[in-house]
A and B are shown apart, each in its own frame.
Chain A
Amino acid sequence: EAAVTQSPRNKVAVTGGKVTLSCNQTNNHNNMYWYRQDTGHGLRLIHYSYGAGSTEKGDIPDGYKASRPSQENFSLILELATPSQTSVYFCASGAGTSAETLYFGSGTRLTVL
């Protein structure tokens, strides 16, 4: 069974602070993605990666950085968190094939005060 694990499950941060959201996958998938979901919006793509050492900007990358130090791990970094980044964040992995199935983590609920 494909497995994607996100940590932490919940996070409260202060404005201007640094936040790191972590994602680990045991699927040996090449592709990994970070999405956020807000009320009234579908999931929106922040960053993605097609392998260790690579990161690419998605549709809404401003205010976020990403890091893919290994095949298994993909982090999302908020250097200076703002209240507008309060959201639920989802990590996903995919095999890199056409019409690949994405396997999602359970999400991280981030609140920036």
Chain B
Amino acid sequence: GDSVTQTEGPVTVSESESLIINCTYSATSIAYPNLFWYVRYPGEGLQLLLKVITAGQKGSSRGFEATYNKETTSFHLQKASVQESDSAVYYCALGESSGYNKLTFGKGTVLLVSP
């Protein structure tokens, strides 16, 4: 089946440092998956951070960016300078190119940003 593997947390960084959370995927049943990063802030539900549906393209939002690399089957999340408010759980996910977005999620990576 399909699967997503991401950096095991918690990941602890200091404010203004750079961040990378690794994500690799295996899409055995989907030829051209859509790739997503969702984020869950404390006490809230998951919300979309960014998505990319075309291999080779980069998505960006709130200073975060990720590039869809079909050759390495990766979709790493990066940010040049994190803020304390970025502390959250980050989920990488893949989905079908259809109307039912039955996502396959990674386990989530806890990010802790210290002031």
Using a CB–CB cutoff of 8 Å, the interface residues on chain A facing chain B are: 4, 31, 33, 35, 37, 40-45, 48, 50, 58-59, 90, 92, 94, 96-107
Contacts and interface: CB of A to CB of B under 8 A. Distances in A.
A42 B93 CA distance: 9
B75 interface: no
Interface of B: 4, 34, 38, 43-48, 51, 53, 91, 93, 95, 97-108
Nearest to A91: B45
Contacts of B101: 31, 33, 94, 99-100, 102
Given A42-B108, A99-B53, A107 B45 contact: yes
A97 B103 CA distance: 14
A48 B107 contact: no
Given A43-B91, A92-B46, A102-B46, 13 more contacts: A31-B101, A33-B102, A42-B4, A42-B93, A42-B107, A90-B45, A90-B46, A94-B101, A97-B99, A99-B51, A99-B95, A102-B103, A106-B45
Nearest to B5: A42
A96 B106 contact: no
A105 B102 contact: no
The 5 closest A-B pairs by CB, nearest first: A42-B105, A104-B45, A104-B46, A43-B105, A99-B34
B48 A42 contact: no
B91 A58 contact: no
Contacts of B100: 31, 48, 50, 96
B59 to A, nearest CB: 11
B43 A45 contact: no
A98 B48 contact: no
B19 to A, nearest CB: 20
A43 B103 contact: yes
A105 B44 CA distance: 8
A99 to B, nearest CB: 4
B98 A98 contact: yes
